[in-house]
Structure 1
Amino acid sequence: MMRCTIAIETEGPGRPIGRIQKTLKLNLPLRETWLDTAKGLGITLVVMAHVLDHSTWRWAHPIYFAVSLFFMPFFFIISGYLFAVTERKALLRKRVQGLLIPYVMFLGAIMASVLVVDFLRGDTPAPWQIRELITDALLGGRHLTRELGVFWFVTCLVATQLVYNEVAIRTSGPTDPSMLIFVGASVGLAYSIQAYWQEVRAPLALTNVPLAIGAFWFGHFLRERGMSALWSAVFVVAVAGVALAAARTGSDFTFSMKNAIFGPPLLGLLVALAISTFILGLIRFMAMPSLRIAPLAEIGAASLVIMFVHQFVHFTLRDFGMSSELALIALSLGLPYLLYRGLRSSRILSPWFIGSGDLALSIQLMRRSLAFRAG
């Protein structure tokens, strides 16, 4: 159930206008659960792609290539679909609590875990290596690799949301001419970065924001304006036709958002949007009550923790000799999911690691625990 507060202006005899607030209960869902299913599929594809990227299986590269065409823009589209114009301070506060605090906590935890694993393997890092690790963590973005490589996504997402919100505050929706000009300029800048500044390792993945804005806007457009099944099909088929024709002429569709490789100008992004449109439409159909896909939705609810942790699990297991792709994929999904369940059940840890719960209560509980132990 969702509460909606309605303010009613009233004027009594001999009194100035006052405000009466009434709270109504509306039978509206707090979230669209099919989006959790979409995130569940998305994070599963992310884990699978990252495992296969380091595999010698003959089908690993083709599968990785196909998934990489859209798997990161897919998350920005989902985020755009959930977007609502928000007062800037409130949005910043929400993003700090919901994304940036977990980002810092997991970044520190995994850095420490990497050092512990290296020590257990007999590979004690030199002081300069530790300094380099800390410096790369502070810079973020493309400076983060291996176990920390996926962390670029969060800083890029936060920057994208904050910038997009600033424009949305001043416009009337995703089809407002000013918004369209802004998005078009952003996408144009993204492909300029690919052409001229691809090697620039900007801090916090800021050079990825212009393309992310294009995907984010598309999700916002789908939410606000929608796209019928017919027009979705036309869009997907048209982009597929153009892409196949371009591929026959030798166009390179390699897509690595983190590394500022976005495929052929505009067409690379359109391919990502078209594939995402098809998958989202399929998921909405599958999410009908008659079809049971709750496990995928549950994985989607844990997607942030899985995003942060799966590469640590993957590389650690691989370094200790595990080579089965199926086992690596299953454990890289399953172990972070179990961690998520544990964190979610803790009133102390959940605000810091998964962005849910009350930070003030967590601090209060920690103080009580420390005081009890000291006593």
Structure 2
Amino acid sequence: MADASAAPPERALGGGRLEWIDVARGAGIIAVVIGHVWTRGPVRDAVYSFHMPLFFLLSGLLSRVQPPATFALRQLKSQMRPYAAFLLLLIAVDQIIEPLKGHRPIFDDWPQDMLPVLLGGSWLRGPYTIFWFVPCLMAGRILFNMLLARWPDPLDRRWALMMLVLLPAAYAIGWWMDASVLGMLSVPMALILLWIGAAWQKVAWRPWMWWPFAALSLGGLSGLLPTLNLKAGDYGAPLLSIASAVATSLLLFRFSVRVAPVAGWLAAVGRASLVIMYLHVAVIHYLAPLLGKPGVLVLALLLPIAVYQLLLRIPGARRIFL
């Protein structure tokens, strides 16, 4: 185990806001939007090789032990309230926009449609397709914190033994199941990524690491390795595709540390990342038939950022949506 004094500059153990974290989130959410604008081809494959694992790794990197019951209740309150608020908002918007276009709304058979809305996950498509992510991350964080309360050191060998069991289970469940209630299909892999992020807190960067990390990263970014689809439980080539995602994300974290002093705009995007996550697919869904991909990309970022800034200025809306 590396000495704490040799820890890398991006080490984060809680307490205070680090600008590089927002920069990394900003880069990650831009990658997410790009992957939903370009839905096929090398750009899409490069983005899908790392974009969702990045957020799980970053969450693990920022984790610290908290009382399990208190943490679970706080997560349920703070994450599921915005989840429900944004989901209901988009359903209401769809009820208006689709009839104006001469189409039927995605959900138009009430109260029968209440069931897929409540199930979420793989039952939510179109402008709601990203809604699997927050419940999955929340459940992963709750379970990870429960384990962390028992084994506070992520480099404890008991964690390694658990990963030896959890890793094949994650692949087997993803291969066997198609349905995902509230994104729970991906929770086993989320736990693995959260643990890797937490363990990375303890590791000092060494110059020799550049070579294997760069090789693994390029394998995913170039399309040489099968890409990932965490929502569907598709983790690409066993071990290698996930390893590539981890390598790309950790290299991006180091890059974020270096550029943070001059990347305030990217940090601002990162601070709005949750609102962008919820709203960007809807912007793409409604505007893609009207605009070229570059224009859709710009608006899929700018419109949610504008909504985020508006929510910040309305106390009641801020409490509900943020």
TM-score by length of 2: 0.89
5+ long unaligned stretches in structure 1: 1-27, 54-59, 355-375
Q: Structure 2: which amino acid aligns with 1:273?
A: V
Secondary structure of 1:348 counterpart: helix
Q: 2:314 aligned with 1:346, yes or no?
A: yes
CA deviations 1:2-44 (Å, max 9, x no partner) are xxxxxxxxxxxxxxxxxxxxxxxxxx96211110010001001
Deviation of residue 322 (structure 1)?
1.8
5+ long unaligned stretches in structure 2: 1-13
Deviation of residue 298 (structure 1)?
0.5
Q: Structure 1: which amino acid aligns with 2:255?
A: L
Name the counterpart of 1:301: 271
Deviation of residue 125 (structure 1)?
4.7
Name the counterpart of 1:282: 255
User: Larger Rg: 1 or 2?
Assistant: 1
Q: 2:33 aligns with which of 36, 42, 47?
A: 47
Closer/same/farther in 2, CA of residues 243 and 334 from structure 1, 3 Å limit: closer
Deviation of residue 218 (structure 1)?
1.3
Q: 2:246 aligns with which of 273, 279, 283?
A: 273
Q: 2:130 aligns with which of 132, 150, 163?
A: 150
Secondary structure of 1:255 counterpart: coil
Q: 1:263 aligns with which of 236, 248, 251?
A: 236
- The answer (yes or no) to whether the contact 2:91–2:107 under 8 Å persists in 1 is no
Name the counterpart of 1:118: 98
Deviation of residue 156 (structure 1)?
0.3
Q: 2:294 aligned with 1:326, yes or no?
A: yes
- The answer (yes or no) to whether the contact 2:236–2:242 under 8 Å persists in 1 is yes
Name the counterpart of 1:9: none
Closer/same/farther in 2, CA of residues 172 and 157 from structure 1, 3 Å limit: same
Deviation of residue 283 (structure 1)?
1.2
Trace 1:159-238 onto structure 2 (pairs within 5 A): 159-195=139-175, 197-199=176-178, 201-223=179-201, 225-237=202-214
What CA distance in whole angstroms lies between the structure 1 residues aligned with 2:218 and 2:19? 32
- The answer (yes or no) to whether the contact 2:186–2:233 under 8 Å persists in 1 is yes
- The answer (yes or no) to whether the contact 1:232–1:277 under 8 Å persists in 2 is no
Name the counterpart of 1:366: none
TM-score by length of 1: 0.77
- The answer (yes or no) to whether the contact 2:226–2:241 under 8 Å persists in 1 is yes
State the identity %: 29
Name the counterpart of 1:19: none
Deviation of residue 179 (structure 1)?
1.6
* CA RMSD between the two structures: 2.2
Q: Structure 2: which amino acid aligns with 1:328?
A: V
Name the counterpart of 2:22: 36
- The answer (yes or no) to whether the contact 1:97–1:351 under 8 Å persists in 2 is no
- The answer (yes or no) to whether the contact 2:107–2:113 under 8 Å persists in 1 is no
- The answer (yes or no) to whether the contact 2:217–2:245 under 8 Å persists in 1 is no
CA deviations 1:250-297 (Å, max 9, x no partner) are xx613111111101111121111011111111111112x3xx110110
- The answer (yes or no) to whether the contact 1:198–1:261 under 8 Å persists in 2 is no
Name the counterpart of 2:3: none
Name the counterpart of 1:316: 286
CA deviations 1:32-78 (Å, max 9, x no partner) are 1110010001001101110111xxxxxx5101001101100001011
Higher share of residues assigned strand? 1
